[in-house]
Chains A and B, each alone.
Chain A
Amino acid sequence: MVTHTELLRESAAANRIPVALAAVTDPAIDPQLPGGAELVAFTDAVLTGSDDAVAGTRSAVVARLGPDRMVEAAAVCACLQMMNRTTLAAGVPLSRARLAHTAAMRRDAGLDVFAHE
């Protein structure tokens, strides 16, 4: 099973564009993707922000990337809200092989802070 941070790294490499993986866990870091900072701010606002923050960051995504992409971003965030919950509630484990394969990436992205059984 591949994590979304791995998919971010691999898809950026496949598209030959730079990406700062540390932005996944530190929103103060510019992800370096087009509209990346706006997408992270929008995601954070939808998940934990005020209604005003959602409205402001939504407008920023629309201004930078267009309304279609804002809607897609909201949809992806919604889907991961579901997938994260089902994954955590079912106790889906990280295999030893996956842990080994992703050790450097997890360290770089700061993902080791998350507890797993």
Chain B
Amino acid sequence: MLRGRMTPFDLATLPYPVPDRIVATLRRDWVRLASPGSCFTGPERVAIAADVRRIRTGEAATSPLPAVVVETARTTATAPAGIRRTWVERLVADGLSESAYVETVGVAARIVAVDTFHRGLGAALEPLPAPRPGKPTGAVDPNARPSKGFVAMAHGTGSWWAVSLVPEAFAGMEDFHNTLYLSPEEMMAAAPPRRLSRPQIELVAARTSAVNECFY
């Protein structure tokens, strides 16, 4: 179920108090989603998100995006634990650039996160934003190097740096991580500034990772 509103993420009518910092992050993400990325235009990025929503409800993707993009979005959204190096290499061999792969992963992963949050709260899905005009920026992090993972990363190989090849994808990941979970500084605290205790936070995080078959 979708709802139509002028102001995105107007969650004030919910019977639960959604912190302003979370609403602000979600609104920033909608601007990010609608805007040109490194390899995709705003309309293409919103189309990726729309495809993910359709695929997650069992419908077929309808966007005119290349098959390799749709396959990346579908697998990221629905079967990420099955991703292997040979599969990524095949996508690249079929014409998907490494940065386009990373950007697609970032868009797909964040729309899943947004919709998961709404499902948890019992809120209707937020309508996707109207795409913004402009050409892809072509931006990649100049510090990115081949990594021990499947794609190049900047500053090191790790979960934090997974999408660091594409600055927009990294910024979106960082914003969500810092607001929905904890910032790197808050992670150093035994009692971070949240209502849940740190062990309660980590129980939810660890259980989510287990269900997703992700060691982290």
Which residues does A use to contact B, with CB under 8 Å?
1, 3-5, 7-8, 11-12, 14-15, 17, 19, 23-25, 27, 31, 33-36, 39-40, 42-44, 46-48, 54-55, 58, 62, 65-94, 106, 109, 111, 113-117
Contact = CB atoms under 8 A, between A and B. Distances in A.
Nearest to A77: B208
A92 B211 contact: no
Interface residues of B, number: 77
B112 A43 contact: no
Query: Which of A31, A39, A76, A113 lies at the interface centre, i.e. has the most chain B CB atoms within 10 A of its CB?
Result: A76
Contact of B84 (A77, A113, A117): A117
Contact of B108 (A14, A35, A85): A85
A40 B206 CA distance: 10
Contacts of A75: 22, 117, 120, 179-181
B39 to A, nearest CB: 15
A81 B109 contact: yes
B58 interface: no
Contacts of A23: 203, 207
Contacts of B72: 89
User: Which 3 A-B pairs give the minimum distances between C-beta atoms?
Assistant: A74-B120, A91-B150, A79-B180
Nearest to A36: B203
Contacts of A74: 116-117, 119-121
Given A75-B181, A77-B117, 4 more contacts: A5-B202, A71-B16, A79-B177, A83-B181
Interface in B43-90: 72, 75-77, 80-81, 83-85, 88
Contacts of B216: 1, 3-4, 83-84, 87, 92
